[in-house]
Amino acid sequence: MSSILQCPVCRKPLFLTTNGYQCAALHSFDAARQGYVNLLLAHKKHSKEPGDVPEMIRSRRRFLDLGYYNQVSEAINEITGVLLSGLGCGSDCSVLDAGCGEGFYLHRLKNFVDFGDKTRRPIEYHGVDVSKFAVRQATQRDRATAWFVASINDLPFLEASLDIVLNIFSPTNILEFSRVLKQNGSLLFVSPGPRHLNGLRDIIYPVTREHAAPSITEKAEGLFSLLTMSRLNYQLELEGSQTIMDLLAMTPYFWNINRPTKAKVAALDRLALEVDVEIRVFTKREGRATLTS
């Protein structure tokens, strides 16, 4: 039986067992009762509980489940569906959401592909996040998906084992993405556009500047080729202090603003803002390369 998972201790393949996963060197990792597997080694943690805290995860789930980012999800689904249809995978295809959070985007992608795939070919879906709390929430969406606690800086996958990597509003590690993607595999990178969350940002900052373009294109040079770039822009109107604060808690602004500014946002019961998102698709280049400085 083949495996695409990699033991975080010895780098040998991990195989499914009755309780979780084990490699040939007998390093074993048991599944939690919620269904996920923790592959983040204790000595590689930078804090006791790395990643987003439970309050942030709950805020993100409440906000996303209201449908405000469904258009973003649908754009990701359409592009990923096209990529899957063009892959020509053999017996199966493999998709990873690197930095999956509480599983919103991967779960909706799986439902979209399963509904539209007339061939019914096997597709393996994997979600990885460094936050144990986020992965626990993800298992509540879908126990059939393989969810793992792990870092994007040390992905638990063998070299050239994945067809598509999704990286949605999440930290990036280009070298790791290149390592785990198959030849001509695809990286779908989603980031804020220049005007993302204007309206909220107008309240937080005296002067609102456009978001700078992400540096991923330069970082990917030599490893990936940029295939396509698209931009999604639409208006939102939020109602209720809870929803507005849930959105704030999803962003870095929640931790970067002072108490008076946070109180000003909390006092709002209505907020008009802009969703502005850029989606880039990269293809892994042939051969090996290193990042340019």
Average pLDDT over residues 180-202: 96
Geometric angle at alpha carbon 244, from 251 and 249, rounded to 5°: 30
Token output for 158: 């063998």
- 26-37 pLDDT, tens per residue? 999 999 999 999
- In terms of pLDDT, which residue wins out, 113 or 117? 113
Q: Is the predicted pLDDT of residue 119 greater than 60, yes or no?
A: no
Compute the 3-state secondary structure of the chain and give helix, strand, coil in percent, each to the nearest 5: 30, 30, 40
> Half-sphere exposure (CA, 13 Å, Cβ side) for 266?
9
Q: Is the predicted pLDDT of residue 226 greater than 50, yes or no?
A: yes
Average pLDDT over residues 190-203: 96
Question: Burial, 73: exposed, middle or buried (Cβ in 10 Å; 0-12, 13-18, 19+)?
Answer: buried
48 — pLDDT class (breaks 50, 70, 90): low
Tell me the pTM: 0.93
* Mean pLDDT of the residues in the chain: 91
Q: Is the predicted pLDDT of residue 43 greater than 80, yes or no?
A: no
293 — pLDDT class (breaks 50, 70, 90): very low
DSSP per-residue codes, 170-227: S---HHHHHHHEEEEEEEEEEEE-TTTTTTHHHHH-SSPPPPPPPTHHHHTTTTEEEE
In the chain, what is the straight-line distance between the N-terminal and C-terminal CA atoms, in Å?
Answer: 41
* Distances in whole angstroms, Cα of residue 211 to Cα of each of 184, 195, 220, 232, 274: 30, 7, 20, 15, 13
| Nearest residue to 93 via CA among 58, 60, 57, 120 | 120
Quick one: pLDDT at residue 289? 42
Q: Is the predicted pLDDT of residue 107 greater than 80, yes or no?
A: yes
The alpha carbon of 205 is separated from its chain's Cα centroid by a whole number of angstroms, namely 28
Average pLDDT over residues 242-255: 93
In whole angstroms, give the CA distance from residue 185 to residue 181. Answer: 5
290 — pLDDT class (breaks 50, 70, 90): very low
Produce one character per residue of 246-272: b if its CB has 16 or more CB atoms within 10 Å, e if not. Answer: bbbbbbebbeebeeeebeebeebeebe
What is the DSSP pairing of strand 37-38 with strand 146-149?
parallel
Q: Is the predicted pLDDT of residue 292 greater than 90, yes or no?
A: no
Quick one: pLDDT at residue 117? 64
Quick one: pLDDT at residue 225? 95
CB atoms within 10 A of CB 58: 16
Helix 70-85 vs helix 104-116: crossing angle, to nearest 10: 50
Produce one character per residue of 10-20: b if its CB has 16 or more CB atoms within 10 Å, e if not. Answer: eebbbeeeeeb
Average pLDDT over residues 29-55: 83
The alpha carbon of 187 is separated from its chain's Cα centroid by a whole number of angstroms, namely 11
Average pLDDT over residues 144-166: 96
Alpha helix positions (H), the chain: 54-64, 70-85, 104-116, 132-141, 174-180, 200-204, 216-219, 241-249, 253-256, 259-266
Q: Is the predicted pLDDT of residue 241 greater than 50, yes or no?
A: yes
Average pLDDT over residues 57-81: 97
Quick one: pLDDT at residue 37? 96
Fold category of 44-284 in CATH: Rossmann fold (3.40.50)
Average pLDDT over residues 165-182: 96
**237, 57 contact by CB (below 8 A):** no
CB atoms within 10 A of CB 77: 20
66 — pLDDT class (breaks 50, 70, 90): very high
Quick one: pLDDT at residue 91? 59
Q: Is the predicted pLDDT of residue 207 greater than 80, yes or no?
A: yes
The domain ranges of the chain are 44-284
